[in-house]
Amino acid sequence: MNPALQGLLTIIIGVGGCIGYFYLSNQFLDKVLFPAKGPQAGRNINRANLVRPWLFLFPALFALGLYLAYPVFETLRLSLTDRDLDGAFVGLSNYQQMFAEPKFWEALSNNMLWLIVVPAAATAFGLLAAQLTDRIKWGSVAKSLIFMPMAISFVGAAVIFKLVYDTRPVDQNQIGILNAVWLQFEGGAGSFLFLKVIPALILISFAGIVAYVGWIFVAPIANSRANGGGAGFVPLRLFVAAASLWLVYLSIGSLFGIFAFQFPYGEPQTWLTIPFWNSFFLMIVLIWIQTGFAMVILSAALRGIPEETIEAAIVDGANPLQVFFKIKVPQIMGTIVVVWTTITLVVLKVFDIVFAMSNGQWETQVLANYMYDKLFRADEWGVGSASAIIIMLLVSPILIWNVYNARKEMK
């Protein structure tokens, strides 16, 4: 049969089946089970109305149960048994085996890196785009363009970016835009400016910000000596200060690294094979997609801020940056948290991008792809199911928090 006809048939069967189910089941309820006539008419109507919601809920509950709830328990069972031993219960040995694998820890640490970078970057860019497009004439055009990647599937986006990162031999034209740009750097003054001075400036400002944040946390301790106590939780403050000191130390170290490093000018790079950095090249794909989502939600939230509070802040003497950070951002903090956690959930489940671009090679493995490898390639059902359970354990608290925040926002 022609595939188009098959599709049409599927639609007819599917939609017709739905309509038929709802119509016939309600008819059955009203005409046969609890008919609204005879001496029991009043009681029957009430009973039918008690049952009716369940008729409508049933298909969804059934499908969710079959495709969501049941697999959770089945996965849990699989993770505790061994298929090769006819499904014998083996306790936590699958987990032990998994924890002993360096590839699992690589996937977990990569996932953590994704978890920090992608939601932060996507939310930050989304907020920036929402604020900047708010008051300009072509803002809505810009918004549509930024939102458009949302319409592309992860695999599609991965393919697009694979082309961006593509490498050709040195004597051919580079079709990957990143290499095409890279080959423009030949080690002259321009290269020095873009590859040494600007990264160095970014690093210095980063170190400055971190040091300032650290100081904000430490200063109350010194002040409290003078004022006689009341700095709050001192160990936490000291911890933040130590962490920021460490970050400052790291950035100063990389500052020297930047100037010491000899860039391989003129050689096309295979970007996806450079360890550590290749994870970031993959993350860019997801950031590119999720920024549009964050922008749309945050832009709606920004519009919801009462204009008068902003005017009051202007009269109070706040400059545009202070209005943004002290008046606007705190008022939409709830929405920012919801956006952040929603993207976090997407990130924890990220699979397609890694699968399509690097397949976990060159130290880019993530948990979902690791699970896929184990389940469907290595045929280790126990270990694969164990990693699936780990992913679920990581997602659940964030999911619960997300739902809690979203409900709070709606009130």
Partner 1 sequence: MADLKLTDVEKTYGGTVNVLNNINLDISKGELIVFVGPSGCGKSTLLRMIAGLEKITSGTLEIDGTVVNDVPPAQRGIAMVFQSYALYPHMTVRDNMTFALKLAKKSPQEIDEAVNRAARILQLEPYLDRLPKALSGGQRQRVAIGRSIVRDPKVYLFDEPLSNLDAALRVATRIEIAQLKESMPDSTMIYVTHDQVEAMTLATRIVVLANKGIAQVGSPLQLYERPENEFVAQFIGSPSMNLLPGEIVETGAQTKVKMANGSIISSAVPTQDGDKGMHVNVGVRPEDMVATDGDAIFEGKVDFTEALGEVTILYFEAEEGKDAVLAKMPGIHKDLRGNAVKVTAAPEKVQLFHNGQSLYYR
Question: How far is it, in rounded angstroms, from Cα 121 to Cα 124?
Answer: 5
Q: Which is nearer to partner 1, 74 or 311 (CB)?
A: 311
* Closer by beta carbon to partner 1, 239 or else 325: 325
Least Å distance between CB 192 and partner 1?
Answer: 40
Q: Residue 118 or residue 127: which is nearer to partner 1 going by CB? A: 127
- Residue 5 or 315: which CB sits closer to partner 1? 315
In the complex, least distance from residue 313 CB atom to partner 1, rounded to whole angstroms:
7
Give the residue with the Cβ less far from partner 1, 282 or 313: 313
CB of 342 to partner 1, least distance (A): 22
- Minimum distance from CB of 220 to partner 1 (Å)? 13
SS3 sequence, the chain?
CCHHHHHHHHHHHHHHHHHHHHHHHHHHHHHHHCCCCCCCHHHHHHHHHHHHHHHHHHHHHHHHHHHHHHHHHHHHHHHCEEHHHCCEECCCHHHHHHHCCHHHHHHHHHHHHHHHHHHHHHHHHHHHHHHHCCCCCCHHHHHHHHHHHHHCCHHHHHHHHHHHCCCCCCCCCCCCHHHHHHCCCCCCHHHHHHHHHHHHHHHHHHHHHHHHHHHHHHHHHHHHHHHCCCCCCHHHHHHHHHHHHHHHHHHHHHHHHHHHCCCCCCCCCCHHHCCCHHHHHHHHHHHHHHHHHHHHHHHHHHHCCCHHHHHHHHHCCCCHHHHHHHHHHHHCHHHHHHHHHHHHHHHHCCCHHHHHHCCCCCCCCCHHHHHHHHHHHCCCHHHHHHHHHHHHHHHHHHHHHHHHHHHHHHC
In whole angstroms, the minimum distance from the beta carbon of 333 to partner 1 comes to 7
Instruction: Label residue 190 left, alpha or beta by phi (over 0 means left) and psi (-120 to 50 means alpha).
Output: alpha
Nearest residue (CB) to partner 1, 318 versus 406: 318
At closest approach, how far in Å is the CB of 327 from partner 1?
6
> From the CB of 322, what's the least distance to partner 1, in Å?
7
Tokens of 114: 């994704």
Q: Which residues bind partner 1 (CB under 8 A)?
A: 306, 308-309, 311-318, 322, 326-327, 330-331, 333
Q: Which residues lie closer than 8 Å to 349 by C-beta, 6 or more apart?
A: 368, 391, 395
Cα–Cα distance between 110 and 365 in angstroms, integer?
Answer: 7
For partner 1, give the closer residue by CB, 224 or 254: 224
CB closer to partner 1, 212 vs 259? 212
> Which CB, 13 or 333, lies closer to partner 1?
333
Nearest-approach distance from CB 370 to partner 1, in angstroms: 42
Shortest distance in whole angstroms from residue 101 CB to partner 1: 47
The nearest distance, CB 185 to partner 1, in angstroms, is 44
Q: Which is nearer to partner 1, 164 or 318 (CB)?
A: 318
